[in-house]
Structure 1
């Protein structure tokens, strides 16, 4: 199966975006047999991100995670009709074609349906410019649709879960049918 990098672009340690990503990983991707590596951008060194310190060991390791992944799930909260500045800073320090050959699933959370187009009009063009081979249908969820149970596990409103399931399954299927480059001499 494929290796998937799950990237949270949220600056918050109690992020609904991160909870959504963990739900997607636990409820769907591992069920499809994919190995998932989680990356919370907020744990990367801010000074290295903001100064584009390409020699920082954590940023070198992050670039390696992207290079080794077959697929990438990118989650972001939406602020001011766009993806987070933290996610932007991370994408800016990655190699230009860090997503080349990758299947990508963009996900976003926000407080209002006014931000629903941020996935397609703000995030998708950046992912495309980074060489993503296939960007599957993305999805936007309202913050209030993502909650937690008494045990801390993520709970989605039933309608949101029903709508998200085919989106994530489509990503998983795209990973299974991805074209693996054939190397010739």
Structure 2
């Protein structure tokens, strides 16, 4: 069963980004995908700031990413870029830590002026970490995610449609990748011999 890691790059536990991620999570679970989370704001700040590669928390977070066939990288957009806390974590991922994985970038911001932040700010960094299979990604506006009084979030129908399509694309790509690697491994038992 393929696993997808979700990296939440929000510095705030109450961020509207959570509404975006909950929508994606629901669709991926519906598709039978196992999920593991890295909430960057829950990692020890000193481990991030001082780039402690040997920190148990960082080692475990990197293990989650390493085990995953796909990775969702999600961030609020501040000052036309992804968050500093996300950058601090990405700096701790090994040099080719995203190689061979399907990547889905997600972002949420206050204005359409930052619509291209995924392409110009986030994707190049992910590429430097070995990500060659990056899906288009989804940019959401703050106004499309409503905080509910009783807790939780409500995502607009238009955004939910884009998020569900992106999640379905990710699940499909991960299954293709997972199936292809299982079939093409000549060391597997039962592999055809010449």
Question: Which sections of structure 1, spanning at least 5 residues, go unmatched?
Answer: none
Distance in 1 separating the partners of 2:148 and 2:15: 15
Which secondary structure does the structure 1 equivalent of 2:77 belong to?
strand
Partner residue in 2 for 1:90: 89
Moved over 6 A (4+): none
Map 1:48-59 to 2 at 5 A. Answer: 48-59=47-58
Partner residue in 2 for 1:10: 10
Distance in 2 separating the partners of 1:169 and 1:19: 17
Give the length in aligned residue pairs. 184
Structure 1 residue 29: Cα displacement: 0.2
Matched, 1:182 2:185: yes
Question: Which sections of structure 2, spanning at least 5 residues, go unmatched?
Answer: 189-194
Q: Which moved more, 1:49-58 or 1:174-183?
A: 174-183
Matched, 1:165 2:164: yes
Q: Is the CA contact (8 Å cut-off) linking 1:77 and 1:83 kept in structure 2?
A: yes
Structure 1 residue 75: Cα displacement: 0.6
Partner residue in 2 for 1:109: 108
Q: TM-score, normalised by structure 2?
A: 0.89
Distance in 2 separating the partners of 1:13 and 1:138: 22
Partner residue in 2 for 1:124: 123
Matched, 1:79 2:82: no
- Could you say what the CA RMSD is over the residues aligned between the two structures, in angstroms? 1.6
Partner residue in 1 for 2:23: 23
Q: Is the CA contact (8 Å cut-off) linking 2:19 and 2:145 kept in structure 1?
A: yes
Structure 1 residue 183: Cα displacement: 6.0
Which secondary structure does the structure 2 equivalent of 1:86 belong to?
helix
